[in-house]
Amino acid sequence: MRLEDKTVVITGAASGIGRSTAKRCAEEGARVIVTDVDIEGGEETVERIEAAGGEAEFAELDVTDSEQFHDVVDTVAEEYGIDVMVNNAGTGHPGGNLEDLDDETRDFVIDINIKGVWNGCSAALPHMKDQGHGSIVNVGSLASILGLPKQAAYSTTKAAVLNMTRTVAAEAGPYGVRANAVCPGFTETQMLEGFLAQQDDPEVARTEMIEDYPLKRLGEPEEIANAILFLASDEASFVSGHGLVVDGGFSTC
């Protein structure tokens, strides 16, 4: 198994890509620390993993709270060590031109999407450097490489995630620590459903979205989880500072 005897911390693991990643890591032998502000959803993720024979624990975590993030990671590292940090928690915002987005919305997205990933890297890196190994996987977006219209705050933050990842890879590489990002296209998650619900006709919007993808479908959370699993594992031992685009060919068009 690709993550046997490894400890993996995953943020935003109460649903969607985070939950699927937690399940895949557990299937590959990892001890998974499921974190989220959604206690009920996080505990459900743990229950599903344990029902399938895996090992998991839940820790409530607001990724914007640096002190809490460090406390959670320090506790995990002291008890188990920390082999993989997956910074998955993220949020979007209603569509609108940059000049029309209010400061509160902008700051909310920045706090979760940038500061949350920053806090995760900051908490994990000292432990990984001390032990001489570790893998950080940050979840970016297609918006990390493309400026999505009506998504100025989201696109800005996800671009920052990708370059932050490259910086961490350069800084931490000499200590045996790798850092990579996964950049998914639209994926069948609650965030996507929320985005579609804001459109005049959600079903028409979904159909038009699918037509933009060469594979003529949207991604599944499990497909993004598989990409994260690869980057987290020793199979990607010489991959660092990379943004792996998983978008069904969208960015080729």
Strand partners, 134: 177
Confirm if 12 and 36 have CB atoms less than 8 A apart: yes
Tally Cβ neighbours within 10 Å of residue 43: 16
At 196 the three-state DSSP class reads helix
Long-range contacts of 161-167 (CB under 8 A, 24+ apart): 161/87, 161/113, 161/114, 161/117, 162/138, 162/243, 164/114, 164/117, 164/118, 164/121, 164/138, 165/136, 165/138, 165/140, 165/241, 165/243, 166/241, 166/243
How many CB atoms are closer than 10 A to CB 252?
8
Rounded to 5 degrees, what angle do the CA atoms 246, 250, 253 make? Answer: 140
* Residue of 175, 158, 186 whose CA lies nearest to 88: 158
* Closest of 227, 197, 226, 192 to residue 210, by C-alpha: 192
Active site residues: 154
* Helix 116-131 with 66-79: angle, nearest 10 deg: 30
Q: Which CATH number fits domain 7-184+221-245: 3.40.50.620, 3.30.910.20, 3.40.50.300, 3.40.50.720?
A: 3.40.50.720
Query: Do the beta carbons of residue 88 and residue 12 sit within 8 Å?
Result: yes
What is the model's pLDDT at position 174?
A: 98
Identity of the amino acid at 145:
I
Pairing of strands 243-246, 84-87: unpaired
Delimit the domains of the chain by residue range.
Answer: 7-184+221-245, 188-218
CA–CA separation, 216 vs 207, rounded Å? 9
Q: pTM of this prediction?
A: 0.95
pLDDT of the residue at 191: 78
- pLDDT in the model for residue 237: 98
pLDDT in the model for residue 204: 82
pLDDT at 101 (0 to 100): 94
Whether residue 119 contacts residue 74, with contact meaning beta carbons closer than 8 Å, is answered with no
pLDDT in the model for residue 226:
98
Task: Give the pLDDT score at 171.
Answer: 98
Residue 80, pLDDT score:
97
Q: Which residues of the chain have pLDDT under 50?
A: none
